[in-house]
Chains A and B, each alone.
Chain A
Amino acid sequence: MTRIFKLGFIGLVLLYVYTPIMILVVNSFNASRYGNKWNGFTFNWYEKLFENDSLMQAGWHTLQVGLTSATAATVIGTLAAVALQRYRFYGKGAVSSLVFVTMLTPDIVMAIALLILFITLGIELGYISLLIAHITFCLPFVIISVFSRLKGMDMSVTEAARDLGANEWQVFSKVILPMILPAVASGWLLSFTLSIDDVIVSSFVTGPGYEILPLKIYSMVRVGVSPEVNAISTLLFVGSVVLIVISQLLLRKRGSWK
């Protein structure tokens, strides 16, 4: 009896988590514009979506920022995680607390801090400012994801490599990198999803000349219900799910994560 109750409660919570998303997905195929009742199946909204040039443009921008910022964050973050694991250096404790604090800082605080910086330095709000902001909030996730992988590994192989005459770069590229590759890939995927999903930070640090998808969606849904948004949201949701599943599978592989 209690077992049924427990399973029921878990099921209820999961139902609660998925219901709104399911409504959205169903409505994206619903011929009724306002989605109150089912008026039959249609691909109309998806067609409208691909005809909407400004939405497509915003989507392209989002991909651009997502790909570049995830890649940059992964490069910097992976190197940082290796450095934190392998080297002793002055201020190491400070750097790791900074990583931790960066991750916990509320988005809105990071957003205005960066806005103040950009305005002070005279950096134009647009692609570059978005890129810097996205790299910054993705960085801690990459560092932590790679670092936990490194922690679970047997590092004696790197000593063996050193003894056999490899220099630090060779140790990194030929020994460490292949071992941590799943975590690096997972860090990249997480960064990419964080980047394409961000609303709060982006809304402060981008200018009118460079519109990205979440902000475009935001301005559209503030006005009212729009079926194209249902369609694009469904696509975004499916895309994120695919990426997150891949990234989790990568982490589980050879399971030294945790």
Chain B
Amino acid sequence: MNKQFNQFRFWAIGLATSWLALFVLVPSLMVLVVSFLTRDVDFLIKFEFSLAGWESVFDPNFIALLWDSLSMSMITAVICLMVAYPFVMCLMGLPQRWRGIVLFLLIVPFWTNSLVRIYAIQFLLGKKGLINEALQFIGLIDKPLDMLYSQFAVIFGLSYILLPFMILPIYSSMERLDFRLLDAAKDLGATTKQRLLRITLPLTLPGIIAGFLMVVLPAMGMFFVSDLLGGSKHALLGNVIKNQFIQTRDWPFGAALSVLMILLLSFMLWLYYRATKMSNREGGINDSNF
């Protein structure tokens, strides 16, 4: 135990700990505090207790908007699930080496700029976009469909960006599934449907919940998707929060909305741990997936 030993240990632990404390923990607590303060036109906030921010959250007019945003995110997650689950099941039929290659191909775009990819979707959904041209070419429609700048376009864009976040946790829980259980069930006379509903689904539930966690919350925040594909008509929670901080300057309200998102995150984490406990095995989100 010489002096240098202590020094290295001190810096290795201290740097990251103080960084996370200063730039994650403290700011998060500040958000909570700001949500209970008074809005001030000149100085953004006044240090005076107020519930105005939270009252705005529960304002009936706003609740509709909140619901709209939440339902778009939920629909996105459900669509991702409906694509991801069969996708993973198909993937499990491939040899190990091929699975790795397919997953790799899937995550490559997910590391590239999501804004750029959303912009690219404009070319896909536009009146003279690829989908309309293709549908007209095969004669399914006469006039181009008006797909861009709608709720449909926003959900399309969100599912496009977030699909890998649903596939990866489901894949990792499917990989841990003991396939002997399925063989046993088959021997005992269970049908394909029974095996899916009573074995595969319950045991991969943690992966599904983890997928929801990683799709719903980011989906609520992606203001640029609503801006570029929804024409700002179909606001996401992220658009509302952004407005409160950049334009309207109602910080307590914006902060309260963020606290709401954190509460939602905690609730989903709690669900996830419950599900993991229930299926009694390690599921989707842990460090091995990243």
Contact = CB atoms under 8 A, between A and B. Distances in A.
B113 A240 contact: yes
B171 interface: no
A206 to B, nearest CB: 12
A169 B8 contact: yes
B228 interface: yes
B123 A214 contact: no
A116 B8 contact: no
A159 interface: no
Interface residues of A, number: 90
B4 A167 contact: yes
Nearest to B84: A13
Interface in B10-25: 11-13, 15-17, 19-21, 23-25
B44 interface: yes
A236 B221 CA distance: 23
A52 B28 CA distance: 39
Given A113-B31, A114-B27, A240-B113, A27 B19 contact: no
- Most chain B CB atoms below 10 A, which of A18, A80, A217: A80
A107 B114 contact: no
Contacts of B155: none
B273 interface: no
Contacts of B227: 222
Given A91-B17, A167-B4, A113 B218 contact: no
Interface string B92-112: 011000000010111111011
A136 interface: yes
B258 A108 contact: yes
A217 B115 contact: yes
Given A117-B27, A147-B287, A168 B5 contact: yes
Interface in A9-40: 9-10, 13-14, 16-21, 23-24, 27, 34-36
B221 A10 contact: no
B81 interface: no
Interface string A94-138: 010011011111111110111111011000000000001101100
Given A169-B4, A169-B7, A114 B19 contact: no
A49 to B, nearest CB: 14
A109 B108 contact: no
A113 B90 contact: no
Give the one of A200, A203, A214 with max B CB within 10 A.
A200
Interface stretch (B55-63, B180-188, B194-202, B237-245): B237-245
A241 interface: yes
Interface stretch (A53-61, A63-71, A81-89): A81-89
B36 to A, nearest CB: 13
B28 A236 contact: no
B124 A19 contact: yes
A172 to B, nearest CB: 6
B109 to A, nearest CB: 6
B41 interface: no
Nearest to A120: B30
A109 B258 contact: yes
Interface in A172-199: 172, 190, 193-194, 196-197, 199
A90 B290 CA distance: 26
Nearest to A193: B111
Nearest to A104: B265
Nearest to A200: B221
Given A9-B86, A79-B12, A221-B228, A116 B34 contact: yes
Contacts of B54: none
B122 interface: yes
Given A23-B120, A80-B12, A116-B31, A9 B90 contact: yes
15 contacts: A3-B93, A17-B105, A17-B109, A20-B117, A20-B121, A105-B265, A106-B265, A108-B220, A108-B242, A113-B28, A135-B19, A148-B288, A148-B290, A190-B111, A204-B242
Closest 10 CB pairs of A and B: A80-B16, A108-B221, A113-B27, A20-B120, A83-B12, A6-B90, A240-B112, A79-B12, A233-B116, A168-B8
